[in-house]
């Protein structure tokens, strides 16, 4: 082995040893691309399963669901989940355009969630003050987690599906420090309710 080969081997060894020693510091300076960053939003039924959701509801009866959000964004995030109520003709969020429903929220949940952490909340709700007339059903109040909320929603009889349909849905928004406000995070889940029963 020549002296030039030994110098080259010594240089490579020093470089490798230097990178090993500096690797903890380099990871703070160099950010390697991570996996896909996303958030999850879900609702579960009363047994904490994706089944037995309330559907045919009785005026004033209390129903339970669980609302959950999971953070896989790579850092702690500040979320707001807007609760909205619609009849079968009012608009949902547009997933293609990434735009929220133009309906006003009736309630909200705000929460900080660390990376790879989950927030979950059991929610009790009931609809009250049903009025049936001229082929329509008006629901005046939503009770949500002990809060009485005026909603005043009207649904017309759906002859094909035989019911008066309302939907409670949840939109996920995330805080964007660039705009210093919440932005719709293109995730929503909903729960259809048939308000045909009064007792």
Confidence tier at 11 by pLDDT (50, 70, 90): low
Asked whether residue 106 falls in the same domain as residue 130, the answer is: yes
Torsion of CA 45, 125, 153, 189, to 10 degrees: -30
The predicted pLDDT at position 32 comes to 47
Asked whether residue 17 falls in the same domain as residue 52, the answer is: no
Asked whether residue 20 falls in the same domain as residue 59, the answer is: no
Asked whether residue 49 falls in the same domain as residue 6, the answer is: no
Confidence tier at 157 by pLDDT (50, 70, 90): very high
Answer yes or no: is pLDDT of 150 > 80. yes
Asked whether residue 142 falls in the same domain as residue 103, the answer is: yes
Contact 196, 164 (CB under 8 A): yes
**Mean pLDDT for the chain overall:** 89
Phi, psi (rounded to 5 degrees) for 4? -65, -40
Contact 112, 76 (CB under 8 A): yes
The predicted pLDDT at position 10 comes to 67
CA 144/CA 155 separation, integer angstroms: 20
The predicted pLDDT at position 33 comes to 54
Confidence tier at 83 by pLDDT (50, 70, 90): very high
Reported as a single tens digit per residue, the pLDDT across 48-67 is: 999 999 999 999 999 999 99
Asked whether residue 46 falls in the same domain as residue 5, the answer is: no
Q: Where are the alpha helices (DSSP H) in the chain?
A: 3-29
Q: Assign residue 108 the CATH number of its domain.
A: 2.60.40.10
Answer yes or no: is pLDDT of 198 > 70. no
Asked whether residue 113 falls in the same domain as residue 191, the answer is: yes
Asked whether residue 128 falls in the same domain as residue 153, the answer is: yes
Contact 52, 46 (CB under 8 A): yes
| Residue-number span of the structural domain to which 8 is assigned | 1-32
The predicted pLDDT at position 3 comes to 74
Asked whether residue 1 falls in the same domain as residue 87, the answer is: no
The predicted pLDDT at position 12 comes to 72
Asked whether residue 75 falls in the same domain as residue 136, the answer is: yes
* Domains identified in the chain, total number: 2
Query: What's the whole-model pTM score?
Result: 0.81
Higher model confidence: residue 51 or residue 3?
A: 51
Residues 6+ apart with CB under 8 A from 42: 50, 67, 68, 189
Which range (8-22, 99-113, 124-138, 175-189) has the least confidence? 8-22
Contact 98, 186 (CB under 8 A): yes
Asked whether residue 9 falls in the same domain as residue 58, the answer is: no
Asked whether residue 2 falls in the same domain as residue 61, the answer is: no
């Amino acid at each position: 082995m020549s002296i030039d080969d030994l110098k080259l081997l010594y240089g490579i060894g020093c470089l490798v040893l230097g990178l090993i020693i500096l690797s903890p510091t380099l990871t703070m300076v160099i950010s390697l691309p991570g996996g896909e960053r996303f958030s999850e939003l879900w609702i579960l039924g009363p047994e904490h399963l994706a089944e037995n959701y309330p559907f045919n509801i009785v005026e004033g009866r209390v129903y339970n669901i669980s609302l959950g959000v999971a953070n896989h964004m790579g850092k702690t995030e500040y979320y707001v989940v807007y609760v909205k109520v619609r009849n079968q003709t009012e608009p949902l969020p547009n997933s293609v355009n990434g735009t929220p429903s133009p309906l006003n929220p009736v309630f909200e949940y705000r929460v900080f969630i660390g990376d790879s952490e989950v927030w979950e909340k059991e929610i009790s709700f009931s609809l009250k003050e049903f009025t049936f007339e001229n082929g329509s059903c008006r629901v005046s109040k939503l009770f949500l987690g002990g809060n009485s909320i005026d909603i005043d929603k009207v649904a017309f009889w759906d002859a094909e599906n035989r019911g008066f349909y309302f939907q409670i849905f949840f939109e996920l928004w995330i805080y964007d420090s660039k705009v210093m406000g919440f932005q719709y995070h293109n995730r929503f889940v909903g729960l259809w309710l048939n308000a045909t029963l009064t007792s």
